[in-house]
Amino acid sequence: MFHLLLFLFFGAICIAGAVNLLVQDHPINSALSLIAVMASLAVEYLLLGAEFLNAVQVIVYAGAIMVLFIITIMLLNAGTEEHTKGSRVAVLVGIPGVLIGSLLVGWTVLFHSNTRSVPIGALQGDPRGIARLLFHDFLLPFEVTSVLILIAIMGAVVLASRPEAVARGPEALVRAPRKEG
Amino acid sequence: MVPLSYYLVLSGILFVCGVLGFLIKRNIITIFMSIELMLNGVNLSFVAFAAQWHALSGQVFVFFVMVVAAAEAAVGLAIIIAVYRTRETLNVDRVNLLKL
């Protein structure tokens, strides 16, 4: 009963944050509501027994990634969203399609699946088990991921720096002097 | 005891909010955040199924999704900065030419 209450409370925060992300006009408000969504999702992970993912969700998602977003929003001085006429097909076909599809999936999941209940409180995603899987069964994907991160770092540095700094070579990339005037 | 289907419905709602944001919003950063919302919705169903089948592999998958999302956010935001530097706008409808 208590678990159901916790699930409903944080699930409501999740949905409210997600809807607020859609409604808000200013990107910084959307970013803050996305942080609320991610933090309450971390609690849902804990209810499902994934204690390692709970910590990683708070540290990596609500921490690192969202800080990156907010820094970008502030760096670009992004103002209120201007409403232009977008693709009409996306609105006329996409939104009803999404709603019908989600209703079908929800109906199937709720009434036509023999899913059992999840026993809560039995923490099974402890760091030891995750680490055993990560460094034994999934060792190759783990190492490939480190290469992916390295490529992403270099790509981000090259893309975000000024083009003339890239042309001048790696030393100019590190210091990246500002243009005069 | 919370039924598994509740978690799946919550994850579906988050995913649908992400898709709607992707379709409706015109600010490129908000569109990017909608993608993160979709990733989070899928992560929740991964964790729920991992709890259902008592298998930790689902949680390891979520870990990998988070790592890829972090790499994607770094590169994507760098692209957004590069686009803003040349176009001086964040509206996706004004970014419709490959060459200036």
- For A103-158, what is each residue's pLDDT tens digit? 888 887 777 766 665 565 566 767 888 888 889 889 999 999 999 999 999 999 98
**A81 in B contact zone (CB under 8 Å):** yes
CATH number where A77 lies: 1.20.120.1200
Question: What mean pLDDT value characterizes chain B?
Answer: 89
In a domain? residue B99? no
Residues in B closer than 8 angstroms to A4, CB to CB, are 1-2
> What's the mean pLDDT in B79-87?
89
Q: What is the pLDDT of residue A180?
A: 53
Using CA atoms, how far apart are residues A163 and B27, in angstroms rounded to an integer?
Answer: 24
Return the half-sphere exposure (C-beta side, CA atoms, 13 A cut-off) of residue B99.
0
Phi-psi region of B3 (alpha: psi -120 to 50; beta: other; left: phi over 0): beta
Q: Which residues of A touch B29 (CB under 8 A)?
A: 27, 31, 69, 72-73, 76, 78
In a domain, A43, yes or no: yes
**What was the pLDDT predicted at A37?**
94
Which one of A30-39, A114-123, A154-163, B83-92 scores highest in mean pLDDT?
A: A30-39
- What residue numbers bound the domain in which A57 lies? 1-81
Q: Of A71, A17, A24, A70, nearest to A41 (Cα)?
A: A17
- For B36, the domain range is 4-94
Question: How far does the CA of residue A95 sit from the closest CA of chain B (Å)?
Answer: 7
Q: Is A91 inside any structural domain?
A: no
Which CATH number is B44's domain given? Answer: 1.10.287.3510
Here the tokens at position A79 are 């103002």
| Any domain includes B100 | no
For A2, other C-beta atoms within 10 Å of its C-beta total 8
Same domain, A146 and A73: no
Does position A161 have pLDDT exceeding 90, yes or no? no
Residue B21 lies in a domain: yes
Closest to A105 measured CA to CA, from B7, B77, B21, B9: B9
Largest CA distance in chain A: 68
Structure-token pair, residue B14: 């988050």
Please report the residues numbered 121 through 180 in chain A whose beta carbons come closer than 8 angstroms to any beta carbon of chain B.
124-125, 129-130, 133-134, 137-138, 141, 145, 148-149, 151-153, 155-157, 159-160, 162
Q: Is residue B63 part of a domain?
A: yes
Which pLDDT does position B71 carry in this prediction?
A: 93
How many whole angstroms separate alpha carbon A71 and alpha carbon A179?
Answer: 22
Looking at the structure of chain A, the number of domains it has is: 2
Query: Of the candidates A41, A56, A81, which is a domain's last residue?
Result: A81
Decide if A33 touches B, using CB distance below 8 A: no
Measured CA to CA, the distance from residue A98 to residue B50 in angstroms comes to: 26
- For chain B, the domain total comes to 1
DSSP string, A77-134: T--SPP-----HHIIIIIHHHHHHHHHHHHHHHHHS----EEP-S-----HHHHHHII
CB contact at 8 A, A173 and A157: yes
Stretch A154-163: mean pLDDT, rounded?
Answer: 86
User: If DSSP codes are grouped into helix, strand and coil, which group holds residue A162?
Assistant: coil
The Cα A95–Cα A108 span in angstroms is: 20
Query: What pLDDT, on the 0 to 100 scale, is given for residue B87?
Result: 84
Could you tell me if residue A117 is inside a domain? no
Q: Which pLDDT value is given to residue A123?
A: 61
Q: Which residues 82-101 of A have a C-beta within 8 angstroms of B?
A: 82-86, 90-91, 94-95, 98-99
Per the CB < 8 Å rule, is B19 touching A98?
Answer: yes
Give me the mean pLDDT over the B64-83 stretch.
Answer: 92
Exposed/middle/buried for residue B21 (C-beta within 10 Å: 0-12, 13-18, 19+): buried
Q: Confidence class of residue A163 from pLDDT cuts 50, 70 and 90?
A: confident
Is B80 close to A76, i.e. CB distance below 8 A?
A: yes
Give me the pLDDT at residue A172, please: 63
Residues in B touching A19 (Cβ below 8 Å):
17
A48, part of any domain = yes
pTM: 0.85
Put simply, the answer to whether A56 touches B71 (Cβ < 8 Å) is no
Q: What is the mean pLDDT of residues B53-59?
A: 85
